[in-house]
Structures are given as structure tokens and as C-alpha cells.
């Protein structure tokens, strides 16, 4: 099957299959999988025009709602974090889209940019994992207690002793204002500077706009490494932020496409939709299974997914 916008020729069953596998694992860490789909499109499919960034946004729009639904249903959506991500990243994503079109239209420069971004994020997470005290004590305690509850939850389900009182713990918001966001997760309280968070989200939004991943995907590792927040509580917020900013990104790319007749900017809707269908199923399954996977394993999965394409791109640029 040939996709006329991107010029890609591929079996229509391949994009959903690839997206399902990627999204299943990355959604556990609050990452849609778009940051890995982009290297697949660029390196495997040969899709290198700015349109690939817009197509990645289409994938996010189709795929993310299933994962968000699961996190909301399980009471692990921290809405104050979600709104902070959206408000901070949204203007950044639009700025990033302009930078992508004007300053990084060729594949070589774009690959170098992507490689450096991924190398920094992955390196930061790897450093935190290899340190003796990988995270803040509250983060470790909350994640470990959550795993204990999940194990008991599973045991009671299997034995038929499950009751409403034994449900897995939910997030409780304690404070929300312009200076602080405070929430509690299984006996541990997490306090975040609202302005600092939104400022970081703005910078991340610019990077995400250039890359074509919305920004929420990049903020997830920062939540874990810089703010010391449990991975079980940040995944939903990061995915929801990615969804909203991706909607804005797609609209923006589509609107400005007529002004750049010398390059392909508008998204390849059909290709993005096929990726999104696979991602929709993968994210739902990943979000559903997340509570059964130890936090450290989820973090190692994220590190591997981030560093592998980073090293490949930088090697290609240097070579």
C-alpha cells in the first residue's frame, strides 16, 4: 500500500503491529511511544520531511485516549499535574513546530537534534538508576507500598476474596494553587513548585514540538528524575498532556502547510491513523498492566527505549 502524502510504501498491517508493541511498553512510563515511532518512520520507512512530525501527532491523538481512560478509571490521574503540563507545553509545542519547519527541515540536522535530546533524557535516567539512592525516599516508599497492595489485590482476585475495601490505592490532591501542587499517594506526600513545573514544561514543549511528540512524553522522565514523583502517578498526566498538545500541533501543521509549497508539512492522516490504531490497543493494555510491573523495570524499559535510537542517530551523524 502506498501512502501518497509521505510517499511510504508498506503493508498496512505493519504500522499497527509496530505501534502496538512500542506503546504497550512505553505507556507504562507515561510515554505514548511517538518518540520511538519517529525513528522507525525516518530510518525504516524513509519518511524524513517535516510531515513526519505532524503524522506523529496524529498517532498520539488516536492512540492516547485508551491509556488515559485506564489511569482515570484506576484513580491514578493527577489532574493538577495534567493541567500544568498542558498550560506549560502548549505554547512551546507551537514554537517548536515553527523551528522544525524553518531551521531543521533536512533529515541530517533533524536526526542530530533528536539524538541529542534523547541522549540527555536517557542519560539522566540511567544515572539516577545506577546511583545507590536512585530516587527520593518518598518516591521509593510509595512505589514499594503500591506494589505490595497490587500483589495482595491480585491474590484476592485469584482466591475470590476481593471486596471494594481491597481496591488499589488512589491519588488524593491536597493542595492546588499558583505556587504549589501537593498530592498524596499511599501515605506519601509529594510537593511540587507549580511555576517551576510549568516553566520546565514550556521548554520541554518546544523540544516536543520540534520532535513531533507533543511534549508530555519528554516530561515523564523529568517527573521521575527531577521531581522524584512515583511512576505510577505521573503516567496518566504525561499522556493526557501529550494528547492535548498533539491536537494543537496537528491543527497548526495543517493550517500552515499551504504557506510552504516547497516541502511536505501537513500530516499523512492515513499512516498516522494506522499507527494510532495499534497504539490505542497497546496503550490500553500497557496502562492496564502497569500496576503489575515493578517501577524499576518500567524505568529500565524507558532508558533502553530512549538511549537506543539516541546512540544510533548520533553515530549516523558523526559517521
List per-residue pLDDT tens for the chain, 319 residues long.
888 888 888 999 999 999 999 888 878 776 777 877 887 888 888 888 888 888 988 999 999 998 888 888 878 888 988 888 888 888 888 888 888 888 877 767 777 877 887 787 778 778 777 775 544 555 555 566 666 666 665 565 555 554 444 556 678 888 888 889 998 877 778 888 998 888 888 888 887 777 766 666 677 777 877 787 877 788 888 888 888 888 988 998 899 888 888 888 889 999 999 999 999 999 889 888 877 877 778 778 778 877 877 887 787 777 6
C-alpha–C-alpha distance, residues 280 and 22, integer Å: 11
Rg of the chain on CA atoms, in Å: 19
Q: What is the pTM of this model?
A: 0.76
Number of Cβ atoms within 10 Å of the Cβ of 102: 10
Please, are residues 262 and 244 in contact by the beta-carbon 8 Å criterion? no
The sheet with strand 180-185 has its strands ordered as: 172-176, 180-185, 188-193
Amino acid at each position: 500500500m502506498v501512502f501518497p502524502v509521505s510517499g511510504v510504501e508498506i503493508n498496512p498491517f505493519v504500522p499497527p503491529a509496530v505501534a502496538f508493541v512500542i506503546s504497550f511498553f512505553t505507556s507504562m512510563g507515561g510515554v505514548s511511544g511517538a518518540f520511538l515511532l519517529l525513528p522507525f518512520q525516518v530510518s525504516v520507512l524513509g519518511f524524513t520531511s517535516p510531515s513526519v512530525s505532524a503524522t506523529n501527532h496524529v498517532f498520539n491523538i488516536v492512540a492516547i485516549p485508551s491509556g488515559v481512560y485506564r489511569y482515570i478509571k484506576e484513580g491514578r490521574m493527577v489532574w493538577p499535574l495534567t493541567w500544568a503540563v498542558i498550560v506549560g507545553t502548549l505554547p512551546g509545542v507551537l514554537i517548536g513546530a515553527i523551528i522544525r519547519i524553518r531551521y531543521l527541515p533536512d533529515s541530517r540536522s533533524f536526526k542530530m537534534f533528536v539524538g541529542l535530546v534523547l541522549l540527555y533524557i536517557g542519560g539522566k535516567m540511567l544515572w539516577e538508576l545506577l546511583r545507590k539512592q536512585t530516587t527520593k525516599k518518598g518516591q521509593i516508599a510509595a512505589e514499594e507500598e503500591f506494589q505490595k497492595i497490587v500483589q495482595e489485590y491480585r491474590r484476592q482476585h485469584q482466591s475470590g476474596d476481593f471486596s471494594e475495601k481491597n481496591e488499589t490505592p488512589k491519588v488524593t490532591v491536597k493542595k492546588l494553587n499558583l505556587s504549589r501542587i501537593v498530592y498524596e499517594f499511599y501515605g506519601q506526600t509529594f510537593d511540587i513548585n507549580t511555576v517551576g513545573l510549568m516553566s520546565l514544561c514550556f521548554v520541554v514543549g518546544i523540544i516536543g514540538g520540534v520532535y513531533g511528540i507533543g511534549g508530555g512524553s519528554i516530561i515523564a522522565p523529568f517527573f521521575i528524575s527531577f521531581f522524584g514523583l512515583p511512576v505510577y502517578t505521573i503516567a496518566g498526566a504525561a499522556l493526557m498532556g501529550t494528547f492535548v498538545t498533539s491536537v494543537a500541533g496537528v491543527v497548526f501543521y495543517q493550517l500552515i502547510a499551504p504557506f510552504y509549497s516547497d516541502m511536505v508539512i501537513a500530516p499523512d492522516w492515513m499512516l498516522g491513523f494506522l499507527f494510532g490504531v495499534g497504539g490505542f490497543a497497546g496503550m490500553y493494555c500497557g496502562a492496564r498492566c502497569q500496576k503489575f510491573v515493578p517501577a524499576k523495570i518500567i524505568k529500565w524499559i524507558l532508558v533502553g527505549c530512549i538511549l537506543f535510537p539516541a546512540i544510533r542517530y548520533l553515530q549516523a551523524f558523526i559517521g
